A = this chain, B = another copy of it.
Amino acid sequence: MALDTGDTAFIIICTALVMLMTPGVGLFYGGMVRKKNLISMIALSFIAFAIVSIQWVLLGYSLSFGTDICGFIGGLDHIGLRGVGLDGEGIPDLLFMAFQLVFAGVTLAILTSGIAERIKFSSFIVLGLLWTTLVYDPLAHWSWGGGWAHSLGALDFAGGTVVHISSGFGALALALVIGNRMDYGKYSMEAENITTTLLGGALLWFGWFAFNAGSALSANGTAVNALVTTNISASAGAITWMAASWLKGKPSSLGMISGAIAGLVAITPGCGFVSPMSAIFIGGFAGLLCYGALLFRVRRGLDESLDAWAIHGMGGLWGAIATGIFASAAIGGVDGLIYGNANQFFIQILDASVAVAYAFGMTYLLAKLVDKVMGLRVTEEEEYVGLDISQHGESTTA
């Protein structure tokens, strides 16, 4: 098959849109921290993207998509983009590389939730490089690079496991290692810049269309199905989370946008496999589940500060399982539980569970290691003053 201009145009533009999700995460998170850490939060996303960009072309792509080694990791055959050329099937191989790059970038950005307002900037760079190499790259290989999960038949259309479970449970592990923010639970630490969060959320919703539809790698019916299920799930999640939180008080805009992200996360693994009507349920339930997870986390006094675990981790887990329930052969070629294929359901649970365990465990180890060697956390004085000044020497009025 030769190159196709429609497909190539599609994936180039999708790459751009997904790239925008990384600053989107920065803005989304930045609005939820105290103002003294607003720059820091956005800067973490930017630097995450920059270092992953370089790591990916030098090493990461090869680890994920190089020749399979024992189902666990890719070989070094594509190091420095060796053999990744401008031809390919439908789209150039190099474009596939670029599209995967922006996924790796945004995943590291999501992870910053767990260390918000207290991470040492230099340590984050080291930790980030280790994490993307030892957590993200293997997980990408397992699902998409020909690893064991792929062989097993596990379905992950656009990264429910690779992107969201990995970063969500990773953030949880980070939060446990780095510890709660100073005075967490004693003083309220409310979102101080909600407009910024809503803007970031809008950019995420926007980019997510490309994230999910682009994962078809071709401008075809599957991409369209992904587009439609994505939007439905996001909307359903926004509505259910908001409704649930309404019962407990007022319908906050943060609840609405968090629900939308929950819906987007949950549909990610299944968007090319399930029908639009299933997406209403997947997204709607995600809104409730992730809201519940958030409340649970708060009750446990655990400062996984911006809820990557509750939203991306739990939403991704639900999405992986939901794919096993709702997948329909008419849409993506594979049936799920409700169409009588219990097998797929168990495969999904297995795949997701291993990912949860690996992401959590490995992140925990890496965080402990970096903490030992160079210290993960800023000093108390630096935390009090805020990371904007203490890490970047900057401050901003908005």
Contacts and interface: CB of A to CB of B under 8 A. Distances in A.
Interface of A: 3-10, 12-17, 19-20, 23-24, 26-27, 30-31, 35, 38-40, 42-43, 46-47, 49-51, 53-54, 57, 80-81, 86-87, 91-92, 94-95, 97-98, 101, 121, 191-196, 198-199, 201-203, 205-206, 209-210, 213, 218-225, 227-228, 231-232, 234-236, 238-239, 242, 249-254, 256-257, 260, 276-277, 280, 331, 391-398
Contact of A9 (B6, B86, B92): B6
Given A8-B224, A53-B235, A57-B277, 12 more contacts: A8-B220, A19-B231, A40-B253, A42-B253, A47-B256, A50-B234, A92-B224, A94-B228, A98-B224, A121-B251, A193-B397, A253-B394
Contacts of A394: 191, 194, 250, 252-254
A7 B224 CA distance: 12
B277 A47 contact: no
B7 A10 contact: no
B221 A3 contact: yes
Closest 4 CB pairs of A and B: A5-B6, A86-B221, A23-B202, A9-B10
Contacts of A235: 49-51, 53-54
Nearest to A200: B199
14 contacts: A4-B6, A9-B9, A10-B12, A19-B206, A23-B201, A26-B198, A30-B195, A39-B194, A40-B253, A43-B198, A81-B276, A81-B277, A86-B331, A94-B225
Given A47-B238, A253-B46, A391-B251, A94 B396 contact: no
Contacts of A31: 396
Contacts of A97: 228
Q: Which of A9, A80, A238, A391 has the most CB of B within 10 A?
A: A9
A203 B16 CA distance: 10
A13 B20 CA distance: 14
Contacts of A4: 5-6
Given A47-B256, A193-B397, A235-B54, A221 B87 contact: yes
A250 B39 CA distance: 13
A92 B221 contact: yes
Contacts of A101: 231
Stoichiometry, as copies per complex, reads 3
Contact of A27 (B30, B92, B199): B199
A396 B192 CA distance: 6
B42 A198 contact: yes
A232 B194 contact: no
A224 B12 contact: yes
A81 B232 CA distance: 12
Given A53-B235, A192-B397, A391-B250, A12 B223 contact: yes
Nearest to A331: B86
Contacts of A23: 198-199, 201-202, 205
A104 to B, nearest CB: 12
Nearest to A194: B396
A31 B98 CA distance: 30
A206 B57 CA distance: 19
A206 B391 contact: no
Contacts of A249: 393
A183 to B, nearest CB: 20
